[in-house]
A and B are shown apart, each in its own frame.
Chain A
Amino acid sequence: MKRYEFELKRSSHAVDKDKKPITCEQCHIPRRAGIDYLVVKSYLGVRDLAVHFFGDTKDLDRRNMQLVARRFVSDDNCRQCHQDLMLTAKGKSISPEGKKAHEAWLGKDGKGRRTCAGCHSNMAHLPKFDRRYAVNAAFAAKLPPEGE
């Protein structure tokens, strides 16, 4: 878990726009108190305990974890801060390509319904094999070149 915390603190999602630190559960646990919350909270809790005591935390396959990562980031959580999808978090207008893609997500243009994390990967965590990507250059520069 320390590795993920280390990466989060150096990512663009380290603090929100009021400079308050963003914590794990703000993204990974559904916000609405309901059956989603209960099921996800209990499932992740039991799994974390099981891995902590019986599994090898050093041996996590991040390449394969990334393929299912979007299942553990609820769209509602992203929308808590990113309410207007045509603006960045700092209030600037996004690129025309981005607008097109977000319109598809909203269902105005076609019906491309991936989840937020399906397109926006490496927002808070950056495994070593993703550091070569040009989009991740700013994030990768903040992480030490050696180590995971």
Chain B
Amino acid sequence: MKKLRQFFTDTLNQITLGRKWLIIPMALAVLALAYFSYLSLAFSGTRCTWGQAQHGEVTDAQSDCYACHKKVTPKIAQDWNESKHGMLLVKCYVCHGLPDGKGAVPFSAKPDAKVACQRCHAPAIERMYTKFGVREGCNSCHGFHTNSLHHDAYAKSVSKQKAE
């Protein structure tokens, strides 16, 4: 412990040798780092630290997600209901899986776009790839829930905007 402290003070002395003013920017840097790390820890950027409510206990509504989520997550439910997927009754479990974990699609709030979209849209993705190339994550251009037939309801998705 003593050696470590000696080593630390020695290095600090060597760095600031004859340049005592260096201690001020160093202190400022340490303070700034502390301030930044506190802010980023206290207000994390992720919207949802995702831990699931125990869906398995809701036995009477296992596959009818919409009935409950219309009340619990009303905006997302309405987005889906008005979207192309909602109109064609492509229900939640097609992409999100079922809470009991049975079936081919794993239960997930954030399904892997590559796998989930490929299931149905593989030919279209291939065509798009040869024409335009593919960007990471389908959602950045084609909103999963907000892909509506009538575009007045939403801001146009990036894929529908004309290049300016």
A interface with B by C-beta (< 8 Å): 35-36, 39-40, 43, 63, 67-68, 70-72, 95, 97-98, 100-101, 103-104, 109-114, 118-119, 121, 129-130, 132-135
Q: Is the CB of B73 within 8 A of A110?
A: no
Query: What is the number of residues of chain B that contact chain A, defined by CB distance less than 8 Å?
Result: 28
Q: Which chain A residues lie closer than 8 Å to B68 at the CB level?
A: 97, 100
Q: Is the CB of B155 within 8 A of A113?
A: no
Residue B53 is within 8 A (CB to CB) of chain A in the complex: yes
Sample of 20 further A-B pairs with CB below 8 A, known A67-B47, A70-B47, A112-B52? A39-B35, A39-B39, A63-B155, A68-B47, A95-B71, A97-B68, A97-B71, A98-B72, A100-B53, A101-B53, A110-B55, A111-B51, A111-B52, A112-B50, A121-B75, A130-B75, A133-B74, A133-B78, A134-B78, A135-B74
Q: Is the CB of A135 within 8 A of B54?
A: no
CA distance A95 to B72 in the complex (A): 10
CA distance A93 to B51 in the complex (A): 26
Query: Smallest CB-CB separation from A66: which chain B residue?
Result: B47
Q: Which of B34-83 contact A (CB under 8 A)?
A: 35, 38-39, 42-45, 47-55, 57-58, 68, 71-75, 78
CA distance A16 to B42 in the complex (A): 28
Q: Which chain B residues lie closer than 8 Å to A109 at the CB level?
A: 53-54, 57
From A36, A98, A112, A119, contact of B42 by CB (8 A): A36
Q: Is the CB of A110 within 8 A of B54?
A: yes
Residue B87 is within 8 A (CB to CB) of chain A in the complex: no
> Given A63-B155, A129-B155, A97–B47 Cβ distance below 8 Å?
no
Q: Is the CB of A119 within 8 A of B73?
A: yes
CA distance A101 to B43 in the complex (A): 22
Q: Is the CB of B47 within 8 A of A118?
A: yes
Q: Which chain B residues lie closer than 8 Å to A118 at the CB level?
A: 47-48
From B39, B44, B75, contact of A133 by CB (8 A): B75
A36 to chain B, nearest CB (A): 7
Q: Is the CB of A98 within 8 A of B71?
A: yes
Residue B153 is within 8 A (CB to CB) of chain A in the complex: yes
Q: List 21 A-B contacts (CB under 8 A).
A: A36-B42, A39-B39, A40-B42, A67-B47, A68-B45, A70-B47, A95-B71, A100-B68, A100-B72, A104-B53, A109-B53, A110-B51, A111-B51, A111-B52, A112-B50, A119-B72, A129-B155, A133-B75, A133-B78, A134-B74, A135-B78
Q: Is the CB of A114 within 8 A of B74?
A: no
Q: Which of B120-159 contact A (CB under 8 A)?
A: 153-155
Q: Which chain A residues lie closer than 8 Å to B47 at the CB level?
A: 67-68, 70, 114, 118
